[in-house]
Amino acid sequence: MTSAKPLQPAGFLAYCRPGFEPECLADLQARYGKRGQQDTGAGWAFVSAVARGDEDEPSFSSSFIFVRQSVPVLGRVSLPERDRLTPIIGFLRAFSPEFHEVWIEYPDTNDGKALSGFAKKFQPYVEKAAGKEGWLKEYTGGPKLRLHLFFASQNDVFIGIRRARDNDWLCGIPRLRFPSEAPSRSTLKLLEAFIMLIDEPERRLKSGMTGVDLGAAPGGWTYQLVHHGLKVFAIDNGPMKGSMDGHPQVKHLKEDGFRWKPKHAVDWLVCDMVEQPVRIASLIAQWLASGMARQTVFNLKLPMKKRHAEVERCLTLIRDALDDAGLRYRIRARHLYHDREEITCYIRVGKD
Ligand SMILES: C[S@@+](CC[C@H](N)C(=O)[O-])C[C@H]1O[C@@H](n2cnc3c(N)ncnc32)[C@H](O)[C@@H]1O
């Protein structure tokens, strides 16, 4: 009788937005050195890294910015046109794994999305075969383990198993419901930021707090603050629309977001002005360092080239200002699903 191989990952797979593979790779290389490799093409929406054998899977709060989600990979298997199941089960037999659920995933590309129908049909076959092998266990509490089958194409699958985490999304794509009362789809960007970047959001974002929204019109971000019970100063020369036009919790001021300042410090500052990233970073640094706001979510609109370097420049500028002011703080920066040529940052000043 042969003993099962340990579930030691051969590498990690990182999902990203198509076109951002070099930035995703730079994130991996910052962590794994040159073992991060782009054995995948441009526009593939994922990058893989080879693990040394003693690495932990990157955690949700890791320093990754352009990696949307990551999975430790046991191996990559080429599949024939017919009977794709047999080679996958054959590969897994060496590990005799145990897991509680199966996710069939694919890249966030047009070719990837074309696999969604196949993924739905294939899933019950995998579950049935895994059940027969005794691998698929009923979940009764404790750590939940998940089998990930990531189809780069119908004939090329990455196979991984890992602990399910909060904020995991199938294919790394959050499915958020658009609130019909919100005046713009950008509302989903701030909603995603609240879900993905803030720990204990119910404590950090609550009724009775005050907020400022710089570049607020037509009001998608203001809507999210209002929805969480905040009173909001909405700063924009443009008009607030729909439910945010004349809302009792909203004071709309037609002012320049780079000049206007509140009379009293506020709990929250959000900013979605389309401007050079370094100008936004300086503005945010000024607000936080002077104590005008304690928490902030803002976007940095990125140039087409040297995106990683630009992000680093902006975050360094902010860190230097907060260090000079003697403040403690946490920064999280991520390329969220709803971000296009931009990233979203969350900063909280204070000890907790
Ligand atoms: C991307 S839109 C904001 C969308 C908004 N977050 C939403 O969810 O509906 C950018 C806004 O920034 C505003 N803006 C740009 N420069 C500004 C400035 N210097 N002061 C105030 N608003 C500005 C523009 O008028 C525009 O309405």
Instruction: Tell me which of 108, 142, 172 is where a domain ends.
Output: 172
Ligand 1 atom closest to Cα of residue 220: 8
Kindly state whether residue 178 falls inside one of the protein's structural domains.
no
Residue 120 is a catalytic residue: no
Q: Is the pLDDT score of 1 beyond 50? A: no
The pLDDT assigned to 52 comes to: 59
Contacts of 31 (CB under 8 A, 6+ apart): 49, 58, 62, 63, 64
Number of domains in the chain: 2
- Percent of the residues in the chain that have a pLDDT greater than 70, as a whole number: 92
From atom 12 of ligand 1, which residue's Cα is the shortest distance away?
A: 215
Structural domain including 286 reads 187-349
The pLDDT assigned to 104 comes to: 98
Kindly state whether residue 20 falls inside one of the protein's structural domains.
yes
Q: Is the pLDDT score of 54 beyond 60? A: no
Shared domain check, 156 and 205: no
Cβ of residue 281 lying under 6 Å from some atom of ligand 1: no
Catalytic-role residue among 261, 301, 306, 351:
301
Q: Is the pLDDT score of 53 beyond 70? A: no
How far apart (Å, rounded) are the C-alpha atoms in residues 183 and 224? 11
Kindly state whether residue 202 falls inside one of the protein's structural domains.
yes
Q: Is the pLDDT score of 39 beyond 70? A: no
Kindly state whether residue 180 falls inside one of the protein's structural domains.
no
CATH number of the domain at 315, please: 3.40.50.150
Shared domain check, 136 and 34: yes
Kindly state whether residue 280 falls inside one of the protein's structural domains.
yes
Shared domain check, 198 and 160: no
Shared domain check, 141 and 203: no
The pLDDT assigned to 27 comes to: 86
From atom 16 of ligand 1, which residue's Cα is the shortest distance away?
A: 273
Shared domain check, 212 and 136: no
Kindly state whether residue 3 falls inside one of the protein's structural domains.
no
Instruction: Tell me which of 115, 148, 172 is where a domain ends.
Output: 172
Task: Give the relative orientation of helices 220-227 and 187-197 as an angle to the nearest 10 degrees.
Answer: 50
In the DSSP assignment, the letter for residue 240 is: P
Q: Is the pLDDT score of 42 beyond 80? A: no
Helix, strand, or coil here: 145? Answer: strand
Shared domain check, 224 and 90: no
Mean of pLDDT values over 110-129: 95
CB atoms within 10 A of CB 64: 23
The pLDDT assigned to 254 comes to: 98
Shared domain check, 296 and 254: yes
Shared domain check, 225 and 163: no
User: What's the burial of 166, exposed, middle or buried (CB within 10 Å: 0-12/13-18/19+)?
Assistant: exposed
Cβ of residue 236 lying under 6 Å from some atom of ligand 1: yes
Q: Tell me, in angstroms, the distance from the centre of ligand 1 to residue 121's CA.
A: 44
* pLDDT 10s digits, 20-34: 988 988 888 887 776
pTM (predicted TM-score):
0.92
Q: Is the pLDDT score of 102 beyond 90? A: yes
Ligand 1 atom closest to Cα of residue 186: 8
CATH number of the domain at 15, please: 3.30.2130.30
How far apart (Å, rounded) are the C-alpha atoms in residues 93 and 19? 36
Going across the sheet that includes 11-15, the strands are: 36-37, 46-50, 11-15, 69-73
Mean of pLDDT values over 261-277: 97
From atom 8 of ligand 1, which residue's Cα is the shortest distance away?
A: 220
Shared domain check, 224 and 119: no
Shared domain check, 214 and 155: no
CA distances from 88 to 79, 131, 309 (A): 8, 14, 40
The pLDDT assigned to 62 comes to: 65
Average pLDDT, the chain: 91
Q: Which of 272, 279, 284 to mutate to test the pocket of ligand 1 (most atoms within 8 A of CB)?
A: 272
Instruction: Tell me which of 144, 172, 200 is where a domain ends.
Output: 172
From atom 26 of ligand 1, which residue's Cα is the shortest distance away?
A: 215
Q: Is the pLDDT score of 247 beyond 80? A: yes
From atom 13 of ligand 1, which residue's Cα is the shortest distance away?
A: 215
Q: Tell me, in angstroms, the distance from the centre of ligand 1 to residue 258's CA.
A: 11
Mean of pLDDT values over 55-80: 80
